């Protein structure tokens, strides 16, 4: 299975699109021709381009796209400007773009790769005076406002706050955008997402069923309609290992944050092995497509986000003179080391610290199936600690059964209850061990839904609550409630057949009925007594300290 | 060898009864370092650890073990790359002297920070005999503040009476109350100040038995509960509840050595969780309990 997505199509899907729609014509910007010639020469001579040249090349491709649509723009400003605000609509989706293109200064914000490539190379652009740029922007905004009155709801809403990716010398306040996965009820965001995915040849997954109004800003997919059915075979952009991974995620075959991260890293090792760098591009250009595909299958978790950041950093750290084989093996080693250090060794360190907290005669309560907590309990049992475990479980996932199976196999005496009985069983409990999906920067613990309930009841009974979490799951996000950002699972999971009757079978036909299958919830730090990490035992409020120390290290 | 050690330690304690036992321990360790005839750095470290254990055998308070560990960390937190062992030792000795100097000033620093929280006309409740609290009150009295103090008797060793004596010498009006009368007297007081034998990672404290009760009552009455402690008392424990505190700190050193069945002995200390503490005054500054972990990470890592 050695599909080479990048080589098969072209350097990037973006360039491919440009070529097909423009029919090979090249539009030169004023400041461009000289540099362009240099790069053309390099290409024809077959030399390896340096990083700056690659960046410039990329930038110019984007400028071409923009300036083509900006031909009717104010001519006076064109000579100065190299960065033009333009509807960055994919040329493929013609009908919606037609009304937009004549409206010259529609400042739909450019996509993520653009500012990344534009901002780090200000040296390439001719120096612009602040006054000129201000005048440009003001004129742009005036025209926007005028055209907005004429056409409603066509232009991106970001026109009003001005260009969010303003030139670096800008004094405008930085506009923070919400991530798109929590703006599902905003049709413009959806449209942009659809265009982006279409350009990357990733099918867009459609929402399913009636969503409870409080959560209408989140996606809700059905497991019966996996994304892979809409994928063309063979997929030219997504590596087969990633397709398989995405399917495993969406069907719930691979579940649990550690398992998902490790599976992701292994799949990427496969991608890297099969990847061949086309002459002018780099691996990091292709990665966003793969991640976007995975995101469509199942939203990425915080731990996966951190792993991806690490991969991207490692890729960008590879010196450009490095030969491909060497670079690949280096990357593979880095990934192996990451898995080893952050997951396996961390689990050992956490188990060592936790064993001190487990004394003989303890009654330990666990919730759901956390690989880390199971590991800790098994280790403690090996070290001959005498304790028993109460496993609390909840519908619809019933993950506690898996934990129960694993613990009983080792010989640990266990009790199994459902979450509704937790206040009944808590007077017997001496400690509560919980796993975490992520630890947020304000000390909140994000974990499987039901965790915060258990922590609350434990606090009411004065039972210490210990959260076990590796440091690679710490994320910079801040969240104080479970509504803002969450994951909605398939609502059909809640349907159950008892005594031959399936009550909720036709829930879609009842207009006022909504089924809610939440996946995560956040627990405030006041309910958590101790967090055990591979760096040691810290109180929940010290998570930002660890994040700070980690950032300093990097 | 350990006899010399213990004797030196006791001599130091006798010389200056006002000095914290941890400071005496650190002096002893410094002396031990100077006299040590070890050949390797690792050997030196091991013998220092052994010496600390010896001293905890004499005085089992938390502060002695934490002070010893911090001393060891401080002196080795420098580049010991010199080829010559004696040069390394000299560096370590200099660091040791520096450490000792810093901590001798710590009580004064704490007093300077804390006395401003004692307003004119305040009624203060304190527990047992604490030299740091005494120093704070000395400073406040020197600033011409008028305040009165309630001290608990603090059984089983009636250390509270010692505190009352010392306060009378400062001309501070003081009343000795029973340990059981804490709830009764709390409505009259404005603030509660206690010392600490050890400050744990969670931000809680380990102190003479009865402190936890006092903290609970002040929480119920909404009175501020202040703790004054020097930074060498920060220790890397994380107790979840009273039972989780290791036995070696709970009882006096002689008790640990002689008595067979510890469950019949009464513990001398208890653990106060951070949720009951308003502020901690240390020579590192005025900290909230959650900031203690931050400071500990800086101190120990």
Task: Say whether pLDDT at A167 is over 80.
Answer: no
Task: Say whether pLDDT at B150 is over 80.
Answer: yes
Task: Say whether pLDDT at A424 is over 80.
Answer: yes
Which residues of chain B have a CB within 8 Å of the CB of A359?
Answer: 243
Question: Rounded CA gap, B285 and B301, in Å?
Answer: 19
Candidates A512, A510, A514, A477; CA nearest to A492 is A514
A417 or B23: whose pLDDT is higher? A417
Distance (Å) from the C-alpha of residue A356 to the closest C-alpha of chain B?
10
Cis before A234 (ω within 30): yes
- State residue A114's pLDDT score: 39
pLDDT in tens, B217-258: 999 999 999 999 998 888 888 999 898 898 888 888 777 778
A235 or A541: whose pLDDT is higher? A541
Are B244 and B283 spatial neighbours (Cβ–Cβ below 8 Å)?
no
Task: Say whether pLDDT at B120 is over 70.
Answer: yes
Q: Is A109 helix (H, G, I), strand (E, B) or coil?
A: coil
- State residue A280's pLDDT score: 56
Confidence at B211, pLDDT banded by 50, 70, 90: very high
Task: Say whether pLDDT at A166 is over 50.
Answer: no
CB contact under 8 A, B240 and A537: no
- State residue B199's pLDDT score: 92
pLDDT in tens, A392-413: 999 899 999 999 999 999 999 9
Arithmetic mean of pLDDT, A56-80: 63
A49: burial class by Cβ within 10 Å (0-12, 13-18, 19+)?
Answer: middle
Q: What ipTM did this prediction achieve?
A: 0.81
Lowest mean pLDDT among A102-116, A314-328, A356-370, B147-161: A102-116
* B62-82 burial code (b ≥16 CB/10 A, e <16): bbbbbbbbbbbebbbeeeeee
Task: Say whether pLDDT at B210 is over 90.
Answer: yes
Q: Which helix (H) or strand (E) holds A390?
A: strand A387-393
A79 or B287: whose pLDDT is higher? B287
Task: Say whether pLDDT at A26 is over 50.
Answer: no
Lowest mean pLDDT among A207-216, A227-236, B239-248: A227-236
Question: Rounded CA gap, B93 and B85, in Å?
Answer: 12
CB proximity A549 to B under 8 Å = yes
Task: Say whether pLDDT at A116 is over 50.
Answer: no
Of A530, A541, A549, nearest to B240 by CB-CB distance is: A530
Which residues of chain B have a CB within 8 Å of the CB of A466?
Answer: 240
Lowest mean pLDDT among A153-162, A309-318, A504-513: A153-162
Lowest mean pLDDT among A270-279, A451-460, B20-29: A270-279
| Average of per-residue pLDDT values in chain A | 76
Task: Say whether pLDDT at A431 is over 50.
Answer: yes
| 3-state SS, one letter per residue, for A202-257 | CCCCCCCCCCCHHHCCCCECCCCCCHHHHCCCCCCCCCHHHHHHHHHHHCCCCCCH
- State residue A237's pLDDT score: 73
Arithmetic mean of pLDDT, A188-211: 82
Lowest mean pLDDT among A158-162, A276-280, A517-521: A158-162
Lowest mean pLDDT among A186-195, A342-351, A370-379, A430-439: A186-195
Confidence at A29, pLDDT banded by 50, 70, 90: very low
What's the maximum distance between 2 C-alpha atoms anywhere in chain B? 65
Arithmetic mean of pLDDT, A34-51: 50
Distance (Å) from the C-alpha of residue B86 to the closest C-alpha of chain A?
33
Tell me which of B277, B297, B299 to substitute to probe the interface with A (most A C-beta atoms closer than 10 Å): B297
Candidates A164, A105, A101, A111; CA nearest to A139 is A105
- State residue A279's pLDDT score: 62
- State residue A233's pLDDT score: 63
- State residue B162's pLDDT score: 92
Arithmetic mean of pLDDT, A23-51: 47
Which residues of chain B have a CB within 8 Å of the CB of A539?
Answer: 201-203, 274, 290, 293
A314 or A417: whose pLDDT is higher? A417
- State residue A97's pLDDT score: 40
A57 or A351: whose pLDDT is higher? A351
- State residue A303's pLDDT score: 87
> Strand (E) positions, B128-277?
147-152, 174-177, 191-195, 198-199, 205-208, 225-228, 269-272
Task: Say whether pLDDT at B214 is over 50.
Answer: yes
Task: Say whether pLDDT at A87 is over 60.
Answer: no
pLDDT in tens, A481-522: 999 888 888 888 899 888 988 888 888 898 888 899 999 999
Arithmetic mean of pLDDT, A157-184: 57
Confidence at B188, pLDDT banded by 50, 70, 90: very high
Confidence at A554, pLDDT banded by 50, 70, 90: low
Which residues of chain B have a CB within 8 Å of the CB of A542?
Answer: 290, 293-294, 297
Task: Say whether pLDDT at A113 is over 90.
Answer: no
Confidence at A192, pLDDT banded by 50, 70, 90: confident
The answer for A 446-465 residues in CB contact with B (under 8 A) is 464
- State residue A189's pLDDT score: 84
A62 or B268: whose pLDDT is higher? B268
Lowest mean pLDDT among A6-20, A515-529, B3-17, B198-212: A6-20
Which residues of chain A have a CB within 8 Å of the CB of B238?
Answer: 530, 537
């Amino acid at each position: 299975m050695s599909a080479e997505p990048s080589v098969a199509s072209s350097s990037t899907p973006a360039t491919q699109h440009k070529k097909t729609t423009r029919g090979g014509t090249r539009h030169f910007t004023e400041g461009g021709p000289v540099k362009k010639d240099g790069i053309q020469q390099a290409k024809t001579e077959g030399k390896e381009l340096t990083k700056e040249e690659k960046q410039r090349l990329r930038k110019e491709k984007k400028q071409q796209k923009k300036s083509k649509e900006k031909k009717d723009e104010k001519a006076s400003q064109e000579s100065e400007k190299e960065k033009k605000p333009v509807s960055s609509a994919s040329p493929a989706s013609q009908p919606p773009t037609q009304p937009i293109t004549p409206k010259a200064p529609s400042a739909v914000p450019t996509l993520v790769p653009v500012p990344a490539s534009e901002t780090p190379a200000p040296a390439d652009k001719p120096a612009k005076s602040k006054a000129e740029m201000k005048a440009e922007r003001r004129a742009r905004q005036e025209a926007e406002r005028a055209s907005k009155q004429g056409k409603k709801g066509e232009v991106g809403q970001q026109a009003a706050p001005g260009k969010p990716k303003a030139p670096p010398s800008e004094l405008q306040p930085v506009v923070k955008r919400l991530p798109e996965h929590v703006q599902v009820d905003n049709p413009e965001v959806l449209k942009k997402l659809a265009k982006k995915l279409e350009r990357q040849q990733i099918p867009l997954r459609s929402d399913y069923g009636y969503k409870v109004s409080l959560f209408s800003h989140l996606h809700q997919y059905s497991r019966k309609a996996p994304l892979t059915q809409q994928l063309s075979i063979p997929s030219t952009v997504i590596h087969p290992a990633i397709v398989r991974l995405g399917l495993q995620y969406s069907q719930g075959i691979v579940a649990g944050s550690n398992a998902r991260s490790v599976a992701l890293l292994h799949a990427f090792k496969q991608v890297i092995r099969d990847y061949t760098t086309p002459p002018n591009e780099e691996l990091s250009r292709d990665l966003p497509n793969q991640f976007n595909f995975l995101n469509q299958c199942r939203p990425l978790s915080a731990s996966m986000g951190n792993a991806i950041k690490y991969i991207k950093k490692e890729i960008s750290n590879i010196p450009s003179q490095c030969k491909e084989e060497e670079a690949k093996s280096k990357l593979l080693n880095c990934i192996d080391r990451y898995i080893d250090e952050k997951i396996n060794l961390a689990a050992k360190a956490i188990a060592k610290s936790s064993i001190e907290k487990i004394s003989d005669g303890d009654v330990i309560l666990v919730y759901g199936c956390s690989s880390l907590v199971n590991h800790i309990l098994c280790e403690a049992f090996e070290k001959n600690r005498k304790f028993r475990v109460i496993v609390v479980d909840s519908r619809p996932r019933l993950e506690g059964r898996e934990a129960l199976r694993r613990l009983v196999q080792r010989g640990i005496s266990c009790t199994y209850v459902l979450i509704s009985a937790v206040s009944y069983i808590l007077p017997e409990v001496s400690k509560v061990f919980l796993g975490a999906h992520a630890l947020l920067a304000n000390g909140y613990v994000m974990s499987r839904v039901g965790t915060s309930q258990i922590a609350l009841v434990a606090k009411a009974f004065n039972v210490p609550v210990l959260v076990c979490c590796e440091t690679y799951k710490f994320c910079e996000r801040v969240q104080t409630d479970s509504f803002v950002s969450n994951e909605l699972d398939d609502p059909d999971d809640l349907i159950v057949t008892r005594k031959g009757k399936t009550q909720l079978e036709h829930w879609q036909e009842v207009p006022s009925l909504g089924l809610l299958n939440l996946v995560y919830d956040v627990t405030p730090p006041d309910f958590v007594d101790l967090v055990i990490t591979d760096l040691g035992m810290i109180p929940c409020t010290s998570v930002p300290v660890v994040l700070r120390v980690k950032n300093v290290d990097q | 060898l350990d006899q010399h050690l213990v004797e030196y330690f006791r001599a130091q304690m006798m010389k200056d009864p006002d000095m914290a036992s941890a400071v005496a321990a650190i002096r002893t360790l410094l002396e031990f370092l100077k006299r040590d005839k070890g050949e390797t750095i690792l050997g030196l470290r091991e013998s220092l650890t052994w010496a600390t254990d010896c001293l905890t055998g004499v005085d089992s308070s938390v502060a002695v073990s934490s002070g010893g560990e911090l001393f060891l960390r401080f002196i080795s937190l420098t580049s010991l790359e010199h080829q010559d062992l004696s040069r390394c030792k000299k560096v370590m000795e200099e660091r040791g002297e520096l450490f000792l100097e810093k901590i001798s000033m710590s009580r004064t620093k704490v007093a300077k920070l804390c006395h401003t929280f004692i307003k004119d006309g305040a009624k203060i409740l304190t527990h047992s005999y604490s030299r740091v609290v005494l120093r704070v009150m000395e400073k406040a009295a020197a600033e011409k503040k008028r305040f009165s103090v309630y001290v608990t008797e603090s059984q089983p060793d009636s250390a509270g009476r010692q505190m009352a004596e010392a306060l009378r010498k400062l001309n501070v009006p003081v009343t000795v109350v029973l340990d059981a009368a804490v709830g009764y007297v709390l409505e009259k007081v404005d603030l509660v100040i206690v010392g600490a034998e050890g400050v744990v990672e969670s931000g809680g404290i380990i102190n003479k038995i009865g402190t936890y009760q006092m903290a609970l009552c002040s929480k119920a009455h909404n009175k501020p509960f202040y703790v004054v402690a020097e930074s060498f008392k920060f220790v890397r424990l994380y107790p979840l509840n009273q039972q989780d505190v290791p036995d070696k700190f709970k009882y006096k050193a002689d008790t640990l050595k002689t008595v067979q069945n510890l469950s019949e002995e009464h513990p001398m200390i208890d653990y106060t969780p951070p949720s009951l503490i308003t502020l901690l005054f240390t020579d590192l500054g005025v900290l909230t309990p959650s900031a203690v972990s931050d400071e500990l990470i800086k101190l120990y890592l």
